[in-house]
Chain A
Amino acid sequence: MMKVFLRKILVFFIPIAIVWGALEWFYRTVPSNYTYKHKIIKERYKEIETLILGDSHAFFGVNPSYIDTETLNLANISQSLYMDQLLFEKHKDSLPNLQNVIITVGYYSLSKLKNTKGEIWRKYFYQNQMDLEIPIIYPWDVKQYSLALTRRLNKSISLVHTYFDEGTIIGCDAKGWGDYYDSTNGQSLDVQSWVAAKRHEDFLFDFSENIARLQAIIDACKKKNCNVYIVDMPVYHGYVSYLNPDKLEKVTNSCKVLEKDNENVRYINLRQDYRIEDSDFYDPDHLNHKGAKKYTQIINQLISTSKNDR
């Protein structure tokens, strides 16, 4: 009886195993943002003078093409300061010409806890596709051995669909800038502002861990005689109105303290910059092509001025 049962189970699971195997093969063979960025940073180790770290605000909002120095955008969607630090630690010694590090911070960057939200599955991709050692992945965590198990099936299918439609799932250019944004929402910026602000609200005020991570990057940069630019990227005014002003002030003050305490740090607060226009955005907190060009030029200008001042 047991044999019959086991045979039936095995037969039942064959189609499921085939789907799993196919998805695993897809994830292991099709280049993604992670594999691509890992590849280009290794290829350009000796050239890179400016490195961009951060989450989607940096990924879509800072275009290396408008920065005077040789720049690579190593930011990624939902990339936390925890991952920024791990990435920087991994590559810093291989970047002999590094002069500047640009890190974006936003409303939630400093309070974000490790291993939450987007990081729950992304950490496996950083490990497998960017060759990072991730301490929050335990040795007995089986998901590290199968990328297909880390994502929901609907997300995987949608990714496969994108691949067959567009021939790639890489969403960035040769310098790592995010040039593909799925803006199918259709809602007005005002409506989206409330939704985005609610999504970004974590009610956390403890910045200590992320400040320590930033400080670690800053200290490493000091040793390399390299400047750090902490950039608070422009956001739509409606979005700011829904955020907690006390927390926003704390973000600003924390960055100012870092700037004050470290000679190699400059804090660039563009959050409510006077030049912001509605047409600069995909959505309330992400710059579009036009916005990215405009604000990367502004950041570039500020970096150049800052260098001349020092």
Chain B
Amino acid sequence: MQFNTVDFALFFPIVFTLYWFVFNSSIKIQNVFLLITSYIFYAFWDWRFLSLIFLSSIIDFLVARRLKNSIGIRRKMLFGISVFCNLGVLFVFKYFDFFLETFVDAFLLFGKPISYTSLQLVLPVGISFYTFQTLSYTIDVYRKRIEPTDDVISFFAFVSFFPQLVAGPIERASNLLPQFKKRRIFNIEKSVDGLQLILGGLFKKMVIADNCALIVNNLFENYTEYSGSTLFCGAIFFGFQIYGDFSGYSDIAIGTARLLGFDLMKNFNFPYLSKNLIEFWRRWHISLSSWFRDYVYIPLGGNRVSNVRLISNILIVFVVSGLWHGANLTFLAWGLIHGMFLILTIFLLKHSRIKAFLQTQKSVFLDLLGIGITFFIVTIAWVFFRAETITEAFQYLQGIFSTTLFSLPQGNKWFLLFLIGYMLIEWLQKRREHLLDIRHIFSKSIRYSIYYAVVFLVLYFGGNLQTFIYFQF
């Protein structure tokens, strides 16, 4: 069940009503209700894969409880079991065929063909998200940062909480799990904020992402037919497609959770207004970036290491991050590009003269220059993310950087202008919590006019239903 469907528009009000009016007598009953609802929500995709969520939940619940009183090698073994089971399932469903095929291709290069049978398994929706979420719980318990829970219902509901089950934000147990244990009280301001987030998310998804998708699909399928400038616009459109798609989903997820009395972490913070790549990664898919920071980058030594180690740490994080997105060399390349440019940015900003210059010279022009350069790098990297193969990505880039790059782009100029207008709105809202955070507008009629205008845009330009991109991860 997708958030932008009539099905969800009927499902959620029913859940909301039952949650607040029927099952509100105790937290336990509410949690059981949320657990059942979340499993039903997931079953709309494929009920068979509920077994994987159940398996992941039960292993981590039991392992974490055993970890509490374990020491030494037993403790390490228990932790190993959890990591092995979680990553094992992820590996089998997501990466087995990729590594097998890469291995076979490598042998073929040396003239040694190997016959093999791939598994060709269907990728369970959201597997990377809930695996990382449960894994973070076990790691935190192992590191003694949080106490393991004894409440099985709360834990199962935490793993499968439907607003963020299939595409995040990847929550930490330290933030979300305690919320299942305390009484939720309906808060009108929070709920209005939740509705604003949902409306803004639908706008991003249905107006921006879905309409960009139509253009992008055509351009990436027929890139040999278009001029460099058109292809460059295509890459920009894809940047907006994935941004609208994923941040839209996150906004709806956070808004939905807020209506149920939960606070999920912020996942996007106007990333295309970032002045450099470091800032970009603090604003883009924050829950995943911080996951990698806490569970991969810092354990590797973080930035308190030699320059060589720093470079290798960053590259490791971005290669893993690339592969997290999908079992394809294109994602690996995307991660590497970001890693390399991030390293360059870190060293540039470490340079004393540049540092001093940036600290003394503050201007809108410099900000815009930084935003432009960052956006350009991110856009070029998106080509690898979107392309089916590495060869296709290079051919697409070859098409961009041709003599026709400076010609007028074909078609879709109005939509490009619309996106520029949208970015201006983001610029105006950059200090606010989210796109539709308009509480500061005093006039009720203006606020309501804005809401109705957004509803109209969603209904008028939306409806060209596309699956959320991040569901495949």
Which residues of chain A have a CB within 8 Å of any CB of chain B? 1-2, 4-5, 9, 12, 15-16, 120, 142-143, 149, 151-154, 157, 194, 198
Contact = CB atoms under 8 A, between A and B. Distances in A.
A197 to B, nearest CB: 11
Given A1-B187, A2-B186, A152-B463, A16 B6 contact: no
A1 B464 contact: no
Contact of B6 (A1, A5, A143): A143
Contact of B186 (A1, A16, A142, A154): A1
18 contacts: A1-B186, A2-B20, A2-B186, A5-B191, A5-B192, A9-B195, A12-B448, A16-B455, A120-B465, A142-B10, A143-B6, A149-B6, A151-B463, A152-B459, A152-B461, A152-B462, A152-B464, A153-B456
B462 A198 contact: no
A143 B7 CA distance: 9
Nearest to B451: A12
B114 interface: no
Contacts of A15: 452
A19 to B, nearest CB: 8
B6 A142 contact: yes
B459 A198 contact: no
Contacts of B222: 198
Main secondary structure of the interface of B (DSSP, over half): helix
Interface string B440-467: 0000000010011001100111111100
B73 interface: no
B118 interface: no
A143 B456 CA distance: 20
Contacts of B225: 194
A137 to B, nearest CB: 13
Interface of B: 6-7, 10, 20, 186-188, 191-192, 195, 218, 221-222, 225, 448, 451-452, 455-456, 459-465
Nearest to B10: A142
Nearest to B452: A15
A151 B448 CA distance: 25
Given A15-B452, A16-B455, A153 B6 contact: no
Given A12-B451, A16-B455, A198-B222, A1 B463 contact: no
A16 B462 CA distance: 15
Contacts of A153: 456, 459-460, 462-463
B412 to A, nearest CB: 14
A5 B188 contact: yes
A151 B191 CA distance: 30
Contacts of A12: 448, 451
Given A120-B465, A142-B6, A149-B6, 20 more contacts: A1-B186, A1-B187, A2-B186, A4-B188, A5-B186, A5-B191, A5-B192, A9-B195, A12-B448, A12-B451, A142-B7, A142-B10, A151-B463, A152-B461, A152-B463, A153-B456, A153-B459, A153-B462, A154-B461, A157-B460
A111 to B, nearest CB: 17
Contacts of A143: 6
A143 B8 CA distance: 12
A142 B452 CA distance: 24
A2 B259 CA distance: 11
A-B pairs with lowest CB-CB distance, top 6: A152-B463, A153-B459, A153-B460, A1-B188, A154-B460, A5-B188
Contacts of A152: 459-464
A120 B221 CA distance: 23
Contacts of A4: 188
Contacts of A198: 218, 221-222
Contacts of A9: 195
A154 B207 CA distance: 12
A1 to B, nearest CB: 5
B423 to A, nearest CB: 24
A157 B459 CA distance: 11
Contacts of B452: 15
A16 B459 CA distance: 10
Contacts of A149: 6
A4 B192 CA distance: 11
Nearest to B458: A153
A153 B455 CA distance: 11
A237 B102 CA distance: 44
A4 B225 CA distance: 57
A223 to B, nearest CB: 41
Contacts of B456: 153
A140 to B, nearest CB: 8
Nearest to A157: B460
Nearest to B185: A1
B422 to A, nearest CB: 19
A16 B451 CA distance: 12
B261 to A, nearest CB: 11
Nearest to B456: A153
Nearest to B195: A9
A12 B199 CA distance: 13
B180 to A, nearest CB: 21
Contacts of B7: 142
Contacts of B218: 198
A143 B462 CA distance: 16
Contacts of B464: 152
A285 B222 CA distance: 21
Contacts of A120: 465
Q: Kindly name the residue among B10, B188, B451, B463 whose own CB sees the greatest number of chain A CB atoms within 10 A.
A: B463
A120 B188 CA distance: 38
Contacts of B195: 9
B305 to A, nearest CB: 49
A120 B187 CA distance: 39
B23 to A, nearest CB: 14
Nearest to B259: A5
A78 to B, nearest CB: 15
A236 to B, nearest CB: 19
Contacts of B448: 12
Nearest to B457: A153
Contacts of B451: 12
Nearest to B455: A16
B194 to A, nearest CB: 10
Contacts of A2: 20, 186, 188
A276 to B, nearest CB: 26
